[in-house]
Structure 1
């Protein structure tokens, strides 16, 4: 399942305030948190045998499948010593993070399990918002390496991967075929060439070429990172140091800036998040669209909600100078909070939710990306979602966003500079110089 991030401008101040709390909590060191634990011991004093009712906190479920509540009902029926209740948060990732942090800080005992975005692991672990499950209690040996790595901090599994994700290019098979294109584009240049011919031929004022997610929120960080990586650049290098003020990054961000200027990306997309783009694609207003795997199920609905059902397919993200393009790694994990009570029930719950059977059922219901690697070759799933082999490749070649303790500050710095460039307020080179300077201050 995908948890869509919808931004509200008033959030910037709140996120900045949370960063102050984060800095105070970790003392600016970014060192290994205390805790740990074993099956017979405790993590930060945790009692892993304690049973009782708990709450599971996550963002809004946009899958429209009902799978989550149905599965929790099944768990509750089998688990009389402790029931799980879903506490649904807003669909904005930044607001989800802020509310989770605030409720740990006030020691809310009910919030026992939280859905942790892959980019929050370091921050949540370093500040002891979540605790590592007992060593050996979770078998990740057959799970996607990228998903497990994203849930690991200082070589310890602090969260339990629930879904992974990689960016995909959704494209209109009917339009490509109509205008003589036998394959989807592998580069941005090819995509523009195909768009120019299709849009000129269709003469539809509502039809646009391409869009991703460009509002000032986490989705912008994802899309900008993908553009820079797909031009051979990086935001933060393998050595952990910012290195975004480069010709490659200029080419990547500059391509998005240029496409906004000439209308290849519609001007209105500057306010788009995942759901805005999904709705536009489903309404037949885009030839190409960058989004996550959850869109596949919804865009293929035959209930009248999608005009493109049966008329699209997916491909790897196109590259700018690197082919194929490079996705940012997405996905979520279950985090067991340090302040939540009844950690025995919490552990039982996350183990139940991540069984092979439930991962497959979730994938069938929501077209989400499971963490059990063998499911990408499961006949039932591949039949239902022919895009699964492409999605697996996207995940396997994806790059993580910066793995830093103060990620909230880092992503805001990326968004601030990028958004100004996309709006045409500052040149691309100035935006990257500004970003480099801010990141050097934040990442020590």
Structure 2
């Protein structure tokens, strides 16, 4: 077993605010834990996870199956609030203080892995599966689960950005397939907008609001698959690549006129509503929007193509979606390590992955289960292609504060508050301060 070293975490909020939010979460948890008999605590696994509609029924079924295989284990499932920020702050407080809440296994966002691993909140799981079984997962979530050459988590489910296209409008105006390059998307948008003569129609909607989704969009607009942040002892911003991506994102509005100015305040739901109401030709979003677009009463039902995001012309690596999703980690001080490992292996198993897909719509992290998955109405061949080419966000313990700086100044540059080069200088200045605090 690789020794776990604790290192400090950069806290974006003050400890007072963290404690206040954590106490609020504890009040909710008091009524959310799924109880059972009181067995040997060394055979009890306390599992914490996000909240989803209908998740109780799915996880009760999974727990029943798990107990059939491991009758000696008492599994306690605790559900956290839906807010990712609240979950993150709860973990920061409680993983570092075992006197507050016992956490054995927990579901963590892919962007928290490096931060938590550096802080000593995760035990290495390199030997959780044989190497050939690790290869059954998509590459991106395994990469996201890796820090400092060790795997600290197992993939639970995956997500990645995709392109939605109005099939009816493209075919009507002579475009036989979704665009494969950003240049083709701009051209098709301008042609269709000009010919439709509909002032309520937009060419392309995406997420430019000041939040983590903006960083995902930025990654997807980068030339080639290289990251915007080089992760080393001292993370470095890839200035030229960031400048080009921000420049193109702003050009979509002010130069090409294919995206409305309102994209600078759009998150996923705002852009989805515009597209689903028939007021956009193209949309960047996550796969969840497909089922909503195809539901009864949707103005775009049966009129949409789903495809991978475009690349820039000449980029042989092709388009890529920013990786989303959750991982499964184990606290290194758990008194039930082997039982915790058994639960993680079970949740990452093909059987459990199929249930998460069928009941909750969570895309399996195991690519090997795709051939026999029920489609649930979504093109599985496209979904698998997107997940195969997904790219994780930079694996740095400093990612979250750096991302917050990129969100703030990137948003300001897109809105024209200040020039792109000035925004980049502000980000680099923030990065210097963040690294000084950490070291």
What TM-score does the superposition give when structure 1 sets the normalisation length?
0.78
Residue 235 to residue 177, structure 1, CA distance change in 2 (3 Å): same
Q: Which runs of 5+ in 1 are unaligned?
A: 1-12, 22-47
Contact kept, 8 Å, 1:296 with 1:367, in 2: the verdict is no
Per-residue displacement from partner, 1:251-279 (whole Å, max 9, x unpaired)?
22101112233552222222222233223
Alignment correspondent of 2:289: 295
Alignment correspondent of 2:414: 422
Q: Measure the CA separation in 2 of the matches of 1:14 and 1:405.
A: 11
Alignment correspondent of 1:74: 61
- In the alignment, which of 69, 74, 80 is matched to residue 88 of structure 1? 80
Q: Measure the CA separation in 2 of the matches of 1:77 and 1:316.
A: 37
Cα offset, 1:418, TM superposition: 0.5
Cα offset, 1:288, TM superposition: 0.9
Alignment correspondent of 2:389: 397
SS at match of 1:77: helix
Is 2:156 the counterpart of 1:169? no
Q: Which runs of 5+ in 2 are unaligned?
A: 1-9, 19-39
Aligned residues: 394
SS at match of 2:49: strand
Alignment correspondent of 1:252: 245
Map residues 28-427 of structure 1 onto 2, 5 A cutoff: 50-52=42-44, 54-58=46-50, 60-61=51-52, 64=53, 66=54, 68-78=55-65, 79=67, 81-91=73-83, 93-107=84-98, 108-133=100-125, 135-136=127-128, 139-230=133-224, 234-237=227-230, 241-246=235-240, 248-261=241-254, 263-302=257-296, 304=297, 306-321=298-313, 322=315, 324-338=318-332, 342-343=336-337, 345-376=339-370, 378-381=371-374, 384-386=377-379, 388-427=380-419
SS at match of 1:15: coil
Q: Measure the CA separation in 2 of the matches of 1:405 and 1:325.
A: 27
SS at match of 2:239: coil
What TM-score does the superposition give when structure 2 sets the normalisation length?
0.79
Q: Measure the CA separation in 1 of the matches of 2:165 and 2:147.
A: 37
Aligned-residue RMSD, C-alpha: 3.2
Residue 183 to residue 351, structure 1, CA distance change in 2 (3 Å): same
Cα offset, 1:155, TM superposition: 2.6
Cα offset, 1:345, TM superposition: 4.9
Contact kept, 8 Å, 1:16 with 1:409, in 2: the verdict is no
Cα offset, 1:14, TM superposition: 7.7
Contact kept, 8 Å, 2:291 with 2:377, in 1: the verdict is no
Residue 301 to residue 342, structure 1, CA distance change in 2 (3 Å): farther
Q: Measure the CA separation in 1 of the matches of 2:105 and 2:397.
A: 20
Contact kept, 8 Å, 1:297 with 1:366, in 2: the verdict is no
Contact kept, 8 Å, 1:57 with 1:111, in 2: the verdict is no
Contact kept, 8 Å, 2:126 with 2:150, in 1: the verdict is no
Contact kept, 8 Å, 1:168 with 1:316, in 2: the verdict is yes
Cα offset, 1:219, TM superposition: 0.9
Q: Measure the CA separation in 2 of the matches of 1:429 and 1:253.
A: 10
Cα offset, 1:172, TM superposition: 1.1
SS at match of 2:79: strand
Per-residue displacement from partner, 1:416-437 (whole Å, max 9, x unpaired)?
2201101210112222233234
SS at match of 1:163: strand
Q: Measure the CA separation in 2 of the matches of 1:421 and 1:145.
A: 33
Residue 53 to residue 316, structure 1, CA distance change in 2 (3 Å): closer
Cα offset, 1:215, TM superposition: 1.8
Residue 334 to residue 276, structure 1, CA distance change in 2 (3 Å): farther
Contact kept, 8 Å, 1:146 with 1:396, in 2: the verdict is yes
Contact kept, 8 Å, 2:320 with 2:391, in 1: the verdict is yes
Per-residue displacement from partner, 1:167-188 (whole Å, max 9, x unpaired)?
2111111111122211111222
Q: Measure the CA separation in 1 of the matches of 2:285 and 2:334.
A: 34
Moved more, 431-440 or 68-77: 431-440
